[in-house]
Structure formats: structure tokens, C-alpha cells
Amino acid sequence: MTLTRRDFAKLGALGLAAQFVPTLDAQAPEKRIGFAVIGIGRIAGHFMPATLSTTNCRLTGLVSGHRDKAESTAAKYGVPQSSIYNYDNFDDIAHNPAIDAVYVALPNSMHAEYTIRAAKAGKHVLCEKPMSTNVAEAESMIAACKAANVKLMIAYRCHYEPTNLKAVRLIREGALGQVQAIESSFGFNIAPGEWRYNKKLAGGGPVFDVGIYSLNACRYLTGEEPDHITANTSVIDHDGRFNEVEENCSWAMRFPSGIVASCSTTYGANMPGYFRVYGSKGWLQVDNAFVYEGLHLRAEYKGTKLDELNPARDPSHFVAEGEHFSHCVQNGLEPKSAGEEGLRDMRYITEIYRSAGISI
């Protein structure tokens, strides 16, 4: 399929350009950034197909403790059997020139170790959020990547997602006047048997896993760093899921300009994930702001009324973040969501827990 620039402009107007971008200016396989995916779980299941729709990414390696699963995945994506690694021989990726980078899709507690080992193997790192389970790990990840002169990007999808970016742009352009307050929440009713409520693996509960989206959104929407954070956590359901981590958290933040934010997260109820921004001249809301599709922007300001449902489908967010990362690697640029961005959230998460009387 080929598209003229005019065709592309039309698709853009329909909001459909994102799905077709990869067919424009697609790089030859050998020019693309070759990724080894570490951990073939749920999130990798979004990232791997996304690479096929990018201009500049390809899958060139797999790291898994499950050889069978790795072999069938390798076959599906054309990864040579010789580029399948396990957690013991992982460091051998250093000698595989087809692997330029790793995508760390492991439980949170393993992010630091595999980021640092990848850096030592000379590979660039795209690491899932939350960056780590504490501030010290995050700092050591940044240091390791600096020392190895490799790029480190945290996979904050929303930094590269058009509806979130439009919300940010409207705010920066002053559409809402002076922003005063933001509300945001994100959560889900967690199934039994998940690693996510094992504190050693996850670092904490929904604050780490999904609350981080609201926290991060308040930061990119304001363009500021919070100077006061205060929180409550709780456990309601004593059914074995929350022996180690919180079930619910509500927190309040203040930013240096005076903008206030109120947020909540849970592992005990479905919270579709949204933010609403109130300004002196109007408001703006994105529903499904943090999920893979169905992002819905509504706004009213200065006589303008917006109601825009983003038609992009999963895995478009992963395409966008993969392309940004590869572009940065190819051009020696710093990723927009570099390690320092993840570190900041780790500091704020620590503060949320500290305020609620929990140490991490």
C-alpha cells in the first residue's frame, strides 16, 4: 500500500493517520532499531505487534523463562531461534549485533536489574512504568545507562498519545485561561493470582501500577512539579489480595503556581481512567485517558465546544512510543520520557506512601 501526501492529509483530517504512518518512510529492516523484548507477558503482547506498524522498530530478540512460549513468539515475528535468551544467559545479548535495545516488560521489581544488565551489555533501554520499586533503583538505572552511554526511556505511552497531547497543547495555549484544579483517577478490580499485589514484585499497590498515570498526567497537564502531596490509603477487602499492598488511595497535590489536584486509584473497582481540568475560562476532560483506545476529549472554553472520540486502535500508543524511542536512538536525542522522568514519579510515589504512613 502506498499513499500520496494528499491521501495522507485526508486520513489525518479523519484522525486515521496514526494507523497508516508506518507505511510512509518505513525504514529497511536492517536500518531499524532491533529490540529484544524481556518478559513475554501482557504488555509485551501489545508492544510486539506494534513494532510491525512502526517505521523504525523491529523485533530481533526475546528473553523469557518459558522456552516454548519464546519459540512460538519468535516464529510469529521472524526472530531467529538463536536470538532467544533466558534470564541466565541474558548478558550474551552483548554479542548479538541485531539487538540494539531492550524493552523491559517484567514485573516492577526486575526493572532495575535488567535495565542495568542491558546497559552493561551496551544496549539502549525502553523500560515499562513504573520505572522501579523505589528511588534508589531508579537512580542506579539512570547512572548505569549514563555510564554505558545508552539511552534510557520510560514507557509513558501517554506522552506520545495524540489526545493527551492535544489536552496539553490546549492548556499551554491558554484555551482554559488560568488552570485552577485537576481531577484524575484510574483503577481496576484486580483478579486473584496477579503478581501486582505482591509487594516484593510490584513495590506497592495501585498507586505504583495505575495511580502513576494520574500522577504523571497532573504533571504533564500543568507542566509543573508538585510541591505538596498528601494522601490516604486503605484496604477494604480482606480476601487475600491486599495482604501486602494498599487497595485504595486518594491523594491531593499542589503545584508551585497554586494549581491543585485531587486523585484516586483502586484495585477494588473499575475506574476507567480520566482527567478533568478546570480553568478560569473553561474546562477540558479526557475519558479513557490512559487506556489503549477509546480516548474521548471534551472541552468547553471561550465559546468553543469540543467532543472528539479518538478512533485510533490499540496498539497505536505502542507504535508512537516505539517510534519516538528509536528516533532518539538513531539521532542521538534524549527521549521525552527519559529515566529522570520516571525517577520524579518514584519520588512522588514515595511521598504519597510516606504521607499515608507507608514506607517503601
Minimum CB distance to a second copy, residue 151 (Å): 36
Single residue of 27, 140, 198, 355 touching a second copy by CB under 8 A: 355
292 assigned to active site? no
DSSP 210: I
Q: Which residues of 220-254 are buried (b: 16+ CB within 10 A; e: fewer)?
A: bbbebebeebebebebeeeeebbeebbbbbbbebe
16-24, 27-35, 83-91, 254-262 -> range binding a second copy (CB under 8 A): 254-262
d(CA 316, CA 160): 10
264 binds a second copy, rule: CB under 8 A: yes
298: which 3 cell numbers? Answer: 471534551
In the complex, least distance from residue 181 CB atom to a second copy, rounded to whole angstroms: 5
Write down the residue that cell numbers 536470538 correspond to: 83
Only segment of 36-44, 197-205, 230-238, 332-340 that touches a second copy (CB under 8 A): 230-238
Residue 180 makes contact with a second copy by CB under 8 A: yes
Q: What's the closest the beta carbon of residue 341 comes to a second copy, in angstroms?
A: 23
249 binds a second copy (CB under 8 A): yes
Q: What single letter denotes the amino acid at residue 342?
A: G
- Using CB under 8 A, which of the segments 25-33, 103-111, 139-147, 229-237 binds a second copy? 229-237
Query: Does 243 help bind a second copy (rule: CB under 8 A)?
Result: no
Closest by Cα among 208, 70, 188 to 135: 208
| 26 is a site residue for a second copy (CB under 8 A) | no
Contact criterion met (CB below 8 Å) for 38 and 105: yes
| Residue whose CB is less far from a second copy, 90 or 251 | 251
Q: Phi-psi bin for 203: left (phi > 0), alpha (psi -120 to 50), beta?
A: left
Beta bridge pairs of residue 274: 185, 287
Catalytic residues: 129, 213
Q: Where does this chain bind a second copy (CB under 8 A)?
A: 177-181, 183, 185, 187, 189, 228, 230-237, 247-254, 257-266, 268-271, 278-280, 283, 355
